Amino acid sequence: MGTVSFNVGNCMCADTTSTTQATILQVAQDAGVSKTSVSRYFSGERYRLSPGMQQRIKASATRLGYRPNQMARSLKGGRSRLIGMVVADIRNPFSIDVMHGAEQACREQGLSLVVCNTDNDPNQERDHLALLASYRVEGVIINAAGQPSQELSALANQGTPLILLDRTLSDYDADIVALDNRQAIDAALDHLQDQGYRDLLYVSEPTSQASSRQARLERFQQQLKARNLLGKWLCLPLGQEAHHLDEAIAAFLAPEADTHATKALLCGNGNVTLAVTRSLVRQQVRLGDVGLMGIDELPWADLIDPGITTLAQPTDIIGRTAIHSLLQRLQARDRDSPPRQILYQARLHARGSTRPG
């Protein structure tokens, strides 16, 4: 079925009926609390316990080696304690960082995260959604690869809360947690203009399956005219031969008789920034004289001389917020409230790649 990874650090396969394993009663006695309190701690109701009581239960469970049998709990109470997360590209730095924030939030709530990767393939997305339904996940966070599928609608119709991550779906209402794409493009153009760049090339992966890519491109196109800037855009599958990207960048950088505007490349996400950086290195282009800026912070951005300017998304917070929004939807009083849109602003990390001269 593809990539499905479980949160090993929060594994749920222990058998509490084993004669060699501590029982819930022993944990309660060791911590000086009731069995009900221990049960609440391991069943996602920790918020009903004081911080001190939570710490005592955690310490006793660790000391005694207690692990709850979550499968038995789900059969008894109808709750799996599993949250599904479907990501479009698990290799994307954005996906990795958001997953980390989501996993941490799950761990704090006694939940486990089941992660599925679609490689931006709607067919894989359908398979993974069907798989998650068979696991009886309590909710799904999805970085959608395409249009709403039958499997996604089936999950929603059976009452499984859904949170859209980064990408919206047409004709489908659900909470969305994402970057404010308009603000990100505006912030990028503000910086590039302040640094003296007037002729811009926006490079993106194809926009057809990702609303966030489309929103960024549309805002870039709108702002070119509003700001009286020169500009072009390029949407290119990164799996193509590198020479296609090299040729497009070389054509953009070629001297023009009618303009002497300083040129810069703006990259639509981290994968694009990596591909464009490699192309510029191959062509021996000096960064700064030709500007380079990317959306998404990258761990190597300050290692490439003279450093690559980026707009960082608060990815850890986005992941945590997606989980918290999902948990709110699981509460009966919040199930039927209108869809929410939670947008975060990007933060500028200015480096030498956007310092002319």
Over residues 307-329, mean pLDDT: 95
79-93, 275-289, 329-343: which range is least confident on average?
329-343
Over residues 325-338, mean pLDDT: 80
Can you give the pTM of this predicted structure?
0.76
Q: What is the pLDDT of residues 251-300, one digit of tens each?
A: 999 987 556 789 999 999 999 999 999 999 999 999 998 999 999 999 99
- Answer yes or no: are the C-beta atoms of 80 and 70 closer than 8 Å: yes
As a whole number of angstroms, the distance between CA 85 and CA 164 comes to 10
Task: State residue 277's pLDDT score.
Answer: 95
**Assigned token pair, 25:** 């009663």
Over residues 213-237, mean pLDDT: 94
Task: State residue 284's pLDDT score.
Answer: 94
What radius of gyration, in Å, describes the C-alpha atoms of the chain?
24
As a whole number of angstroms, the distance between CA 126 and CA 333 comes to 30
pLDDT above 50: residue 12: no
Q: What is the pLDDT of residues 113-135, one digit of tens each?
A: 999 999 988 889 888 988 888 77
How many whole angstroms from its chain centre is CA 300? 19
Q: What is the pLDDT of residues 163-188, one digit of tens each?
A: 999 988 776 778 999 999 999 999 99
As a whole number of angstroms, the distance between CA 25 and CA 342 comes to 42
Class of domain 181-313+347-354: alpha beta
- Give the β-pairing of 4-6 and 112-117: antiparallel
As a whole number of angstroms, the distance between CA 108 and CA 288 comes to 44
Q: Any idea where the domains of the chain sit in the sequence?
A: 181-313+347-354
- 78 compared with 351, residue with greater pLDDT: 351
As a whole number of angstroms, the distance between CA 61 and CA 22 comes to 8
